[in-house]
A and B are shown apart, each in its own frame.
Chain A
Amino acid sequence: MKWISLIPVFSVGALLLFAAKDFPEWGDPHSPASQSPVSSHFINNTGVDTEVPNMVTAVLADYRGFDTMFETVVVFIAGIAVLAILKGSGRRPRGRHRSYKLEAEPDLIVTYTVRLVVPVIQLFAFYVLAHGHVSPGGGFQGGVVMGASFILIALAWDLDHALVRMSLPRCMVIAAVGIIIYAGIGFLSMFMGGEFLDYAELERLLPVSREMARYYAILGVEIGVGFTVASIMFALYANLSSEGRLKGGL
């Protein structure tokens, strides 16, 4: 049976390799993607429209801000779904789990290293979030790094230790606040007379030009994304590692 299943695997693989031959050369200026008017529009106008040096961030949070907002909502829904499925499902202790659960003290070297490293990671998360305009990074990456720092605490000690700092209800509130920030900036620019997520209209609130209003609104939106992603990453880990019981280490 296994050998028969190799036939579709190899035929589909061969088909994909055959199709890959039609790809344009890497970095080819005459490839369809480089020649489309859309990409040249972004390359020429991003700096003029938004004063954001990092084109990726400008496209992500401004030109296609509507997409990114619902991407954040998708992350939020994923967190809620895991919570809905797992929370309360693993209440009864099962023998299989108890058998290899070690009641050992957290390792001294590991906990001290984590104690030193976590502040650096969190500072780096803020840096990544705030510098999404000029360097690679932004809300998603900064949020993941921030969530990872809490996961690291949960790994080095146990889950309770991390949940004291970031309890699950707080996680969900922060995640919701992130989306509210994002949508709020969108609605705010709507009330200022533009369209939904048309940040340039925020110039009436901020003492800056239309371009810089977009610049700062992108930062605000990224902060919202960072909130949601960071808390959902930790909520996912907390639920998955303890089967929704939210107790003990791995």
Chain B
Amino acid sequence: MGLELLNIFILLLLVATALAALRVRDLITAAAVFGVYSFLMCLLWAEMGAVDVAFTEATVGAGVSTVVLVATIFNLKRKSND
């Protein structure tokens, strides 16, 4: 039951961060929110017992890809048009 509640909590947060990443005007913020999304996914993987996948998600998804996104956005203009 406890795990079920945790799952629902994480899934709700996932939806919230996904919507936030779409709505936010500043692209750097969107990249950061996307990192949070990846980390929540990592928690879900770990909780389901797929620890290898969780590890990859934490390093690649939440770590390096966020940095690469930020690095790219720094060379663009930061504000989203829509």
Binding site for B on A (CB under 8 A): 26, 54, 56-57, 97, 128, 136-138, 140-141, 144-145, 147-148, 151, 155, 233, 236-237, 240-241, 243, 250
Min C-beta distance of A238 to chain B, whole Å: 9
Contacts of B60 in A (CB 8 A): 140, 144
Which B residues from 44 to 82 make CB contacts under 8 A with A? 48, 51-52, 54-56, 59-60, 63-64, 67-68, 70-72, 74-75
Contacts of A155 in B (CB 8 A): 67
13 contacts between A and B (CB under 8 A): A56-B52, A57-B52, A128-B55, A137-B52, A141-B59, A144-B63, A144-B64, A148-B63, A151-B67, A236-B68, A237-B64, A237-B68, A241-B71
Min C-beta distance of B57 to chain A, whole Å: 10
Query: Measured between alpha carbons, how far is A233 from B71 in the docked complex, in Å?
Result: 13
Min C-beta distance of A189 to chain B, whole Å: 25
Choose from A148, A241, A250 the contact partner of B59 (Cβ within 8 Å). Answer: A148
A241 engages B55 (CB within 8 Å): no
Contacts of A241 in B (CB 8 A): 71-72, 74-75
A240 engages B59 (CB within 8 Å): no
Choose from A26, A136, A138, A147 the contact partner of B64 (Cβ within 8 Å). Answer: A147
Query: Measured between alpha carbons, how far is A144 from B64 in the docked complex, in Å?
Result: 8
> A138-B52, A144-B59 known; 11 other A-B pairs, CB under 8 Å?
A54-B52, A57-B52, A136-B51, A136-B55, A137-B52, A140-B60, A141-B56, A155-B67, A240-B68, A240-B71, A241-B75
Contacts of B54 in A (CB 8 A): 136
A250 engages B64 (CB within 8 Å): no
Contacts of B56 in A (CB 8 A): 140-141, 144
Using known A-B contacts A141-B55, A144-B60, A236-B68, determine if residue A26 contacts B48 with beta carbons closer than 8 Å. yes
In the complex, residue of chain B having the shortest beta-carbon distance to the beta carbon of A96: B77
Query: Measured between alpha carbons, how far is A148 from B74 in the docked complex, in Å?
Result: 18
Contacts of B63 in A (CB 8 A): 144, 148
Query: Measured between alpha carbons, how far is A145 from B14 in the docked complex, in Å?
Result: 25
Using known A-B contacts A241-B74, A241-B75, determine if residue A151 contacts B48 with beta carbons closer than 8 Å. no
Contacts of B72 in A (CB 8 A): 240-241
Min C-beta distance of B50 to chain A, whole Å: 8
Contacts of B75 in A (CB 8 A): 97, 240-241, 243
Choose from A26, A141, A250 the contact partner of B74 (Cβ within 8 Å). Answer: A250
In the complex, residue of chain B having the shortest beta-carbon distance to the beta carbon of A132: B52
